[in-house]
Amino acid sequence: MDLTELLNKNDALQVKIFHTVLLNNSQVSAKCLLDELKISNPVLIKAMAGIEQLTHKLDSDVHIHFQQINNESYVVLEKSPRADLSDIYYAYLSESVEYKILCYLFKWQHFTTQKLCRYLVISEASVYRYLTHLNHLLAEFDLKIKNGQLVGNELQVDYFYLELIWNSRPMNEIVAATNEERITRTVIALEQALTTKFSTSTSLYVSLWLAILQKRPNAELTDNIINNGLIQEIRKDPLFDHVQQIYFRFILSEANYGSGAKSIYLYLFLNSAALGDDQHLIFDNGHCWPTPFSKIIKMAEWIVNYVNDNLKVDVNLLPKDFIIHWRIVLTQLLTQIYFFHGYINAVAVDISTSIPTSTEILLEPIIKTMAVAFTPHVFLSPTMRTYTSAILESYIEASREFSDYKLVIGIFTRGGFLTTNYLIEQFKSEFILHHGLTIEIATAQHHYDLLITDTLSVANAFHFKELYTLTGKLNVTDKRIITEILLELAAQ
């Protein structure tokens, strides 16, 4: 879910303009903006006036305006160093009817259509229209609004609220909402149990999860995701005993209905939360992988072996800190995917990425295998798939540093020395991620894993395993096919 999907059409456009300018170092040509957003100049002018009106109302020391630069119109954003851009995004969200409905549900957990109409000052027809759209968005989290309440697995309900509040509310509001002695003491106790010290952001993140767990302590728990087999694996982890005792002691006055499941929710959150490079929680449970879940261990080991085999990684060269770091990251990612469905992309963050073809070829089988292994639990929404792909891409690219590639490409063109050298530089730029790859002008004396030429008639003069013929400039199709050939060669 992208938070802009909760906004009306005009506000969503203003946020996209604001965000696009930010992504372009606070200035972008008006022409580029019109082309990218596919809008007309009058629409842009009107939207710009709306943004400036809002920033003026907030007194935010943020200004966005048109400016002539080298006889071309630009949209420029200026702000003071102390300006908090999240306040601007939240100002848009706080006016969203759909966002107000979600916040109302979080506060009261139930509504009647009549009360909601009075609260929002809208008609019943409008309420039903907004609820229909919200249910479309909530499907990503396996949730829906039915009979005036959020319906679904309780773990998913809590997780959705965590994602929504963390990615939409200003930090000062989250601090105020979690500023409670019991929560503070619980966080300190967790740090002691985990023998770590949370950063300020991590502490606030954990505090928010605790606050949400308290918000619905007696909600009906439908734990079909956490079956008896998984519970048995959880109870084998000594860490769970510590977490459960801490939860009972500081959050619950007595072990009332649902408390056992809520302590499991806290445990799962700590196992899956991506808390930053210096905040990963290493759970010493006697396994090489920091998790008690056999399915997650099996999937993580398969990913590592698959990447190592395809990239010809020399595992003896892998530093200990590299192994520990990625065991933690992969464990947290897979735990999140297995137990928590959905992902909210904050409007202030762009997680989209252009994945190199060579990496994408490795990435697709991993995601497909994961879907089969985790069935029926896993459904990767577009936003969650992008998030997952970005992390797996980082792991694949980090592993390439220890790849044992010994492939040599020879290039011969009839264009002569300068043309061939130009093509070699193109290849180095496009295939730089293939560490250990040698690219040179082909000679009859050398042996090549791959010969690339635009003249088939001279191919017999060279020694090679594979041949690829260029029909012109290096294009997208060439890149994809050559990458596939290189991966096949490396796997031999």
122-154 pLDDT, tens digit per residue, is 999 999 999 999 999 999 898 999 999 999 888
**What is the C-alpha to C-alpha distance for residues 324 and 338, in angstroms, rounded to an integer?**
21
Residues 433-467: tens digit of each pLDDT:
555 677 888 888 888 888 888 888 778 888 888 88
Q: What is the mean pLDDT of the chain?
A: 82
Is 16 a residue whose pLDDT tops 80? yes
Question: Which has the minimum average pLDDT: 72-81, 365-374, 471-480?
Answer: 471-480
Percent of the chain with pLDDT over 90: 23
CA nearest 183: which of 165, 164, 208?
Answer: 208
Domain boundaries, the chain: 3-81, 294-400, 408-491
pLDDT band with cut points at 50, 70 and 90 for residue 119: very high
Tens of pLDDT, residue by residue over 257-280, are: 445 678 888 889 988 875 544 444
> What is the CATH topology of the domain spanning 3-81?
Arc Repressor Mutant, subunit A (1.10.10)
Q: What is the mean pLDDT of residues 181-206?
A: 86
Lowest pLDDT segment from 37-46, 404-413, 444-453: 404-413
Please report the pLDDT score of residue 193 as a whole number. Answer: 80
Structure tokens at 283: 């759970």
Provide the whole-model pTM: 0.77
Half-sphere exposure of 428 (CA within 13 A, CB side): 10
In terms of average pLDDT, the best of 130-134, 164-168, 240-244, 393-397 is 130-134
Tell me the two tokens of residue 398.
């980090």
- Report the range of poorest mean pLDDT among 192-201, 284-293, 386-395: 284-293
- The whole-angstrom separation of Cα 3 and Cα 99 is 9
